[in-house]
Structure formats: C-alpha cells, structure tokens
A and B are shown apart, each in its own frame.
Chain A
Amino acid sequence: MIRVLASFLLLAATAVHADPPDPCKQVRITEVDLVTQPDGLVAVPAEIDDYPILLAVDTGAIHTVISSRIADDLKLSRDMSTDIYEIVGGLPVYRMAYSHSFKLGTLAAGRVGLLVASPSAFPIDTDGVFGPDGMKNYDVEIDYAHSKFALFSQDHCPGRVVYWTHTPYAQVPMRVDKDAHVTVPILLDGKPLTALIDTGAERSFMTQSVARDIFGIDLGALTKSAEVSLNGAAPTTVYHHDFNSLALEGITVRHPDIDILPDESVGRGGPQLVVGASVLRQLHLYLAYREQMLYATPAEAQ
C-alpha cells in the first residue's frame, strides 16, 4: 500500500508558478469542474492512460479506487494489495492496478497504483473514487455551489486561505490520521462529537451505539427506516432520526439529515458521526491537510 501513497506524492503540476517568493501567497495548483451526481455526490474528471474517467471525490475513502471495468478496459497490470481493506458495507477490496499515467486537470503523474473494486461499489456514472492519498499533499477546496474542485500548494501562511468571501467563516482544527481521514469536533444538538468529513458518503450517519448511548435514542420508537444496500453489499436496516442542529464552530446546519446504521456496517473504532454530502453540500470547504485546519463557509457565500 505504501506504493500507492508514494505514487500520489509524485503528482506534479505541469503549470509553472514563477511568481516572486511571497510566503503568504496562496498558489492554486489546479482546478477542475465538479460533476454533481443524482445522489448529491461530486466527481472530478481525470484521465488514466489518456482515457477519461470520472472519480467521486471521497475524503473518507481508503485510497483512490477504480472500477474493475476500467482496469479491464485499459488492460492495466495487476497484483494484490498488501492488505485487504473493507469499504462501507463490508465489501473487501484487495486488488491493485497500475496506470502508466494519471492526470487531474494540470496535474500529471506516471505510474500510479490504484485499488480496484467491483463496479457495483460506485454510482453508475462514475468510475471510482479519488481518495485522500491523492489530496493529502495539497490544500483541497470543494466549492459545491459553483461546482469547482481545486488543489492548492500547502506553502502558505496559516489562516490565510478563505479568499472567496469576506463574510464570516468557520476555522476548525482537524485531525488527520494515518489514512489521511479528517475528523473535526462538532456539536450535534448541543452534544460534542468527533465527526469524519466524508465527501464520498451520500448521507450522514452515526452508529446505533452512538444514537443510544449519547443521544438516548430508542431505536424501537423511530418510525422511519429503510433497507439500504451500502456499496452493493447485502441490505442493512437504516433508521432515521430528526436532529435539530449540527454546528461546526460558527456555522449551523439546521435539521441535518442523519441516518442511524448498525454498528457492524460502520466497523469497530469508527467515528462517532460521519458527515456526508447531505450536510457538506451546504458548505464551501477548504481542507488544509498540513495545517490541519478545516475552513468552511455557507455554500453560496461570496
């Protein structure tokens, strides 16, 4: 798996930035249009071996993953990953494919190792996910309302990144773990939780344990429930509870859409809350991985 990370470290901008040194200047490395899917997830256009693909932006992924269909079509060389990974829903992922080239906007890399999963793990119009291994060496801006995805250099002065508005914004310390997953402190109905920022999750969700132990929710009393297949795995029962507010420092999302899932479908040691696209789409996000700071404004702030 180390090879995957190393490959993405080598993503290089073809654009030349020859401005005079200004330690606080924010340098945009590349920008591409986001493609919004019917489920609300967003995807970026990329190219593998000059073949155009669409990858869902997924900060909660293990790594960048492509559909086995793409790997087959492009006849990419394959081997096994050193570990077996599970994506939400319990689907195992353990095959690797290697590109000759990988492009995202003006960024280009040579051989890149990509995990391979069944096409059923992805929305029909996408070919995989762009994971945190491809993002963590940059600052990442996700502008849902204007459908823009940008990568910035991490060489800038702390706190000087919110260029798109003069209105108030949230600045929240974020923890970046070894898999480059981002967690932040939030308040849900006034109770403090640690939340994973997961742009690849269509909905936001917590486990039944958290719902019961922290919020005292009686699952038997919930009226809304559904059988949902997560990433093509066997259907699991999902409950829905109407929370009042989710607060990310100064920004409050009223009536956040949050599901309650069985503990086993999230896995042990998972986050208390996963904040997915149902909430994130209401924000304009800037994830400064090295600075370990999340900046956010309302989506349409200008």
Chain B
Amino acid sequence: MRAGLIAVVLLNFAAGGALASAYSDFNAGVAAHNREDWDESVTRLSAAIDAPDLAQTFRVPAYIDRGDAHAARREWKEAIADYSSALAIKPGSLEGLMHRAAIYEAERKYGDAIGDYAQVVSLRPSMAMGYEGRASTYDDANNLDAAIADYSAAIAIDPRNAADYTLRGSAYRRQGNFQKAIADQNRAIDIDSKSPQIYFERAQTYQDEGEYHHAIADNMNGLRMRPADTDGRLQLGLSLWAYGRFADAAAAFTQLVDQRPTALYSVLWLAVAEARAGQDYKTDLANRAAKLDLDKWPAPLVKLYLGRAEMRDVADAAGADRASIKNRMCEVDFYDAELNLLKGDKGAARPQLEAAVANCPREFIEHDAASAELQRLK
C-alpha cells in the first residue's frame, strides 16, 4: 500500500516521551553527539541504554557516544565507565579503547592509557594511531626514549605524517638531541609547509640550541601564518630578547599583552624587555597593573618591578606554597638578577642566573632566558 494522502510523521526529534522508542532515543542521541550537543546526547542515549528493548548491536555505539559526551563535559569517571561498558560487550572495539585511553591520558593515569593503546597496537599493528597515542602518553610521562620509539613506529607506517615528525622532533629536543630534532622538523616542513605549529616547534629547538636568529625567523614565519597565536608571540619575544634585540622584544611583548592583558607573566616579560631596552617600564607596568590580579603568583614579582615590594616580601610569597617553592625561587632568582643587571651589578646577577639555570625546570622560560643572559655576561 503506497502512502498517498496519509502523512507518516516520524517523531524521532520530538521531545523524549512515552512515544519515543529505544531506537529513536538512540538515533536522537547519536545525532546530538554528532552535532556536539552533549547534554541532549547524554539524555537521549541514557534513555536508550536504560530501555530493555534496545538491541544489543546498538549498545556499543550508544555507550561510546555517551562516553564522548561525558568526556566533553569533563566527566571523566562517567566517560571511562561508558567506554568500559562498551568494551565489556565488544572487547576489540578500537574506538572504545582509543577513547578510553585518551581519557586516562588526560587524567594522567599513564599506565592505564598505555595499556589500552598497547591493545590497539596489538589488534592493529599496521595502524599508526595506536603507536601515536602511546607515544603521546610516554611523552607526557617524560619517558622520551619510549615516545621516540613509538613515533618512529608510526612514521614507519605513515611516512607522510608531518605531525609525527614534529612530535618526535620535540622529544629529541627535550633530550638535547638538537640535530635529530631539527632533521625531523625540517622533514615535517617539507611535508606540510603551511603549518605554523611546526615552525614554532623548530623555533623552540633553535632557541634551546642558542641559535636565536633562526628561532626569530621561524617564530616570525609561524606568526605570519597565525598572527593571533599567543604562544608563538611569546616565543618570538623571548627569542628576540635572547638575541639582544630588546626594543623589538618589547614590541612583541606589547602585542602579546594587548592580546591578553591580564596574563601576569606576559606583563612581567614586557617590563623585563622594556627595562633592558632603556624604556620607562615602571610607568607602563603601573598603567597595566590595574588590569592584573595582584593576589596570585607571580604578582609579587610584578610588585617588585613596580617598587611596591621588597625582596623579602617576594621571598615570603614564594615560600608560602610549599609544593612550588623550588620553582618559584628559581623564578625569583632570574627576575631579581635582571633588576641587578639594570643596576649594573653583574656580580650579584651572575650567581642568581646560575641558580636559575640549575634550579628552573627545563621547560621554564626562565631557564632558557637565564642561559641566554649568562652567555651575554661571558
């Protein structure tokens, strides 16, 4: 019998109610998931999952999609529970394993993440994604040798993936193996010359290597492609500062502070650069300080530069948080050393800079900046 005059109206997108079947809830939940309407997705998929008549074949995608929705709402525990439910039904679900691993990774449960990625690698050894996920987790856990091995495995499978070269290059850089880092980043640029991130990554390698003019060029290349990138702008300012182009560095930091006027470190670095460029940093800093939250770290350092705090106040503030006292003290060493250099007191500045290099974690910008300053003092 053909439908001629009678309209058959589907109710799938009507509000959930007595008329909604488990299947229509499932469909509506998947559709909401696909359009990133996470609340609706959780509501409709929960209704579908709770319905006894939802066919088993729909339960795996329902759990995975609801897990994604929970993850998007940063409900990690619920997300993991859903992915685990999907995996209990279908243990070999690559999507379930990959998504659960990503949540474990975000939660810094590195062992669990590596376990899931290892299963993906075992199930699909010729798929790069499992190696890439595990490499990223090893990377986060600072197990750089293992990360490099997995990035290399992914590259062997897909030699045209610029991201894998970039990430492996970053791992080599953090190992201090600059030659291999630059080789990987060059290869990544050969593959994808339009990615600003690769230029920023190579700039970081040049910066760590002390090749500041190359770092400046790469940061500028990246910013030409993505002018609003604040991390790239910060890197450019730091590379210009390290190279001794203080006025240019101040200009870069001014642009950065204009982009994010409440970022304390950006404002502090603007003051550092303006001071070294012989500009009136105190007036500029005082004008900008009104927009800053001066109750949190590193506000005491801002106050020190404004002349509104003494070193003992800064030291007291640094020591107030026992968990981060070492990191804060290394920062105090660096920024106070800069003030001592302004006063022409190289004798006081040098041991502070040496302490900053020794005590600041490798990824702190103060570590590299102190190294660059010590080079200048030679």
Contacts and interface: CB of A to CB of B under 8 A. Distances in A.
Interface of A: 33-40, 69, 72-73, 118-119, 123-125, 145-147, 159, 166-171, 202-203, 224, 226, 240, 247, 249-257, 278, 281-282, 297-300
Interface string B109-148: 0000000000000001011110000000000000000000
B359 interface: no
Contacts of B14: 254
Contacts of B10: 251-254, 282, 298
Nearest to B23: A145
12 contacts: A34-B57, A36-B58, A37-B95, A38-B64, A119-B127, A125-B93, A147-B58, A203-B35, A251-B3, A251-B10, A254-B13, A300-B23
B61 A38 contact: yes
Contacts of B279: none
B34 interface: yes
A73 B126 contact: yes
A168 B2 contact: yes
B8 A167 contact: yes
Contacts of B183: none
Interface string B172-193: 0000000000000000000000
B8 A252 contact: yes
A124 B124 CA distance: 10
A268 to B, nearest CB: 24
Nearest to B157: A69
Contacts of B21: 300
B95 A250 contact: no
Contact of B7 (A73, A226, A250, A299): A250
B164 interface: no
* B contact patch SS: mixed
Contacts of A202: 34
B34 A124 contact: no
Contact of B27 (A72, A167, A281): A281
B57 A147 contact: yes
B270 interface: no
Given A125-B95, A257-B35, A282 B27 contact: yes
Contacts of B1: 166-169
B80 to A, nearest CB: 16
B30 A39 contact: yes
Contacts of A170: 2-3, 8
B11 A254 contact: yes
Contact of B2 (A37, A125, A171, A252): A171
Interface residues on B, range: 35 or more
A147 B55 contact: yes
A33 B55 CA distance: 12
Given A38-B60, A257-B34, A282-B10, 10 more contacts: A119-B129, A125-B94, A168-B3, A168-B4, A250-B6, A250-B7, A251-B10, A254-B10, A254-B13, A257-B31
B36 interface: yes
Contacts of B128: 119
Interface in B1-55: 1-14, 21, 23-24, 27, 30-31, 33-36, 55
Contacts of A256: 13
B150 interface: no
Contacts of A281: 27, 30
A118 B160 CA distance: 11
A42 B27 CA distance: 12
Please list the 6 inter-chain residue pairs (A to B) with the smallest Cβ-Cβ separation, ordered nearest first: A250-B3, A168-B3, A255-B13, A38-B61, A40-B30, A38-B64
Given A73-B126, A124-B94, A124-B129, A39 B34 contact: yes
Contacts of B31: 40, 257, 278
A168 B2 CA distance: 5
Nearest to B57: A147
Contacts of A73: 126
Contact of A124 (B24, B98, B158): B98
Contacts of B11: 254
A40 B8 contact: no
Contact of B126 (A35, A72, A171, A255): A72
Nearest to A123: B95
Nearest to A67: B127
B360 to A, nearest CB: 36
A52 to B, nearest CB: 12
A230 B6 CA distance: 38
B68 interface: yes
Nearest to A255: B13
B331 interface: no
A300 B55 CA distance: 12
Nearest to B129: A124
B57 A36 contact: yes
A250 B35 CA distance: 27
Contacts of B35: 203, 224, 240, 257
A1 to B, nearest CB: 25
Contacts of B93: 125
B127 A40 contact: no
A35 B61 CA distance: 10
B26 to A, nearest CB: 9
B127 A298 contact: no
A250 B8 CA distance: 6
A256 B10 CA distance: 10
A35 B57 contact: yes
Contacts of A297: 8
Contact of B57 (A33, A38, A254): A33
Nearest to B56: A147
